[in-house]
């Protein structure tokens, strides 16, 4: 709807609400899956991975059922949206692997999924903190300490990850400003291109 030029506040707010619900629901899926991996392989055994798995899994299922019951869009559209969002959630593990390589450390299975599990869990537990500012950096540092990589290494990883988020956020702001400017120019162009009434034909003077 937005791509077709409908920028009404009701449509935008409704689409944004659906996106935020899908974002939260898939975040719980990511938390459940990551916690399950950590529980099965015994990563950071002092953490309550099994509890996180069950609680996050049940809440994510409730969120999915609520979306399907509300059905703001068709079922196929909702399921595709949830599926693709889940894919982006799990690609976060690839991001951590890339950061390990960038910082000169081998991205082993344990290292990648332990950090992934920590970040996913902290994002769900501290969802009330905007952007997880400070929380995610702290949990990455803690994970790197547990892995024996040291707090300084964890700080570097958290810093680079936050820079990536700010970079994409900046692109998003620029894109939103460009779209808003384009939507404001649209009505003006239509008004300017509207046909002008031809002057009425008057009989010539005799």
**Tens of pLDDT along 165-189?**
888 888 888 887 888 888 787 655 5
**Residue 196: predicted pLDDT:** 52
Q: Which of 41-45, 88-92, 102-106, 202-206 has the lowest mean pLDDT?
A: 202-206
The distance in angstroms from the start CA to the end CA of the chain is 59
| Model confidence at 42: pLDDT above 80 | yes
Three-class DSSP category at 127: coil
**Residue 4: predicted pLDDT:** 41
Cα(49)–Cα(39) distance, integer angstroms: 5
Nearest to 99 by CA among 132, 147, 140, 134: 140
Nearest to 121 by CA among 61, 20, 44, 68: 44
**Residue 126: predicted pLDDT:** 82
């Amino acid at each position: 709807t937005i791509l077709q030029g409908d920028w009404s506040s009701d449509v935008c707010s409704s689409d944004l609400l659906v996106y935020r619900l899908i974002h939260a629901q898939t975040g719980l899926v990511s938390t459940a899956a990551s916690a399950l991996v950590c529980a099965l392989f015994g990563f950071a055994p002092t953490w309550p991975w099994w509890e996180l798995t069950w609680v996050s899994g049940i809440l994510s299922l409730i969120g999915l059922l609520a979306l399907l019951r509300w059905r703001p869009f068709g079922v196929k559209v909702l399921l595709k949206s949830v599926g693709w969002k889940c894919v982006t959630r799990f690609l976060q593990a690839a991001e951590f692997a890339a950061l390990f390589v960038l910082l000169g450390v081998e991205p082993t299975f344990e290292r990648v999924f332990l950090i992934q599990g920590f970040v996913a869990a902290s994002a769900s537990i501290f969802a009330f903190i905007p952007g997880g500012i400070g929380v995610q950096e702290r949990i990455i540092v803690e994970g790197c300490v547990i892995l024996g990589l040291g707090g300084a290494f964890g700080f570097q990883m958290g810093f680079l990850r936050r820079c990536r988020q700010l970079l994409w956020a900046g692109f998003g702001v620029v894109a939103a400003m460009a779209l808003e400017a384009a939507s404001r120019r649209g009505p003006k162009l239509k008004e300017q291109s509207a046909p002008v009434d031809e002057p009425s034909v008057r009989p010539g003077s005799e």
